[in-house]
Amino acid sequence: MIYQCYFKKDQEPDLFKNSCYEPFGLEPEVNKDLFLNCHELEEPFVRLQLTEYACFLWHWRNKDKCPNDWVGSTSFRQLDKFPHIFKDLEQVDSLVSEHGVVGWGEYDLLNRVGSPITLKKQTEVCHPGLNKYISDVLNMHGHTLPSNWDQHTSGFFANYWVMTRQLFDNFMEFSWPMVKWSLENVKDSEYYKKGTKYGTVSNAKATGYFMERLFLIWYLSEGKTPHNPFRFRLNLVHDTL
């Protein structure tokens, strides 16, 4: 299934109804099973730090609750950015069987005059100190940044994808040790202490922003760029550049 993450009861009427989607509440008020095999999620601090990654963790730990041989993720806010909805299970089955990992949250990174900027540059502009934090944590866990981190000018959101169970397990085995470390240590980092605040962005979600980049780093390192069946790309413009 593609699990559509949401936080509040009043968001439920607008969730997708097609057969390939299933709602997943990120707060105990809308998900009575949220803490099943995921005791970390009992802490409000952790839930906010993880955001959608809590859904990934839950379905990694509770494989018996997943009816398909693939796992997907989307958000109750998806239509604010990306208009496409899959028709049914058969459509998703076919795409995942052919491509392994499918993504519909693709974006191009541009500065205010329309010139492309890299994933690395965008990361630093949005979250000062995050590049160093990423590099330090990767090195600590025996990984390195892919060379194309400072070359690619487009990417995929970390919560709009569907992939085979094997690839999903691979991503979680790569990311969870570092995400877990971040939950335990992020408050001591300069990245957290100097975190900027604008709109909905704040250091309360610092590990979530780190996790989002880990998704990009994972698929770049594995050579598994998601297939975008809808060929729709969002232009993300940064006015400070």
**What pLDDT was estimated at residue 240?**
61
Q: How confident is the model at residue 239 (pLDDT cuts 50, 70, 90)?
A: low
Are 241 and 117 contacting, i.e. CB atoms less than 8 angstroms apart? yes
| Average pLDDT taken over every residue of the chain | 94
pLDDT of residue 236: 82
Residue 62: predicted pLDDT: 98
Whether the per-residue pLDDT at 155 is higher than 90: the answer is yes
Furthest C-alpha separation in the chain: 50
pLDDT at 201: 79
**Neighbouring C-beta atoms of residue 201, cutoff 10 Å:** 14
Q: Residue 32: CB partners within 8 Å, gap ≥ 6?
A: none
pLDDT at 28: 98
pTM: 0.94
Q: pLDDT class for 241, splitting at 50, 70, 90?
A: low
**pLDDT band at residue 238 using 50, 70 and 90 as cut-offs:** low
What is the rounded average pLDDT of the residues 7-21? Answer: 96
Tokens standing for residue 65: 């609750």
Question: Residue type for 108, please?
Answer: D
Burial code (b: 16+ CB inside 10 Å, e: under 16) for 149-160 equals: beebebbbbbbb
Q: For 48-66, what is each residue's pLDDT tens digit?
A: 999 999 999 999 999 999 9
Q: How far apart are CA 128 and CA 122, in angstroms?
A: 10
| Residue 164 token pair | 């085979």
Distance from the Cα of residue 144 to its chain's centroid: 20
- The length of the chain is 241
Q: CB atoms < 10 A from the CB of 125, how many?
A: 17
For residues 87-113, give the mean pLDDT.
93
Residue given tokens 């993450």 in the structure block: 5
pLDDT per position as a tens digit, 204-221: 999 999 999 999 999 999
Of residues 237 and 81, the one with the higher pLDDT is 81
| Residue 102 near residue 163 (C-beta atoms within 8 A) | yes
Chain position carrying tokens 């998601």 = 226
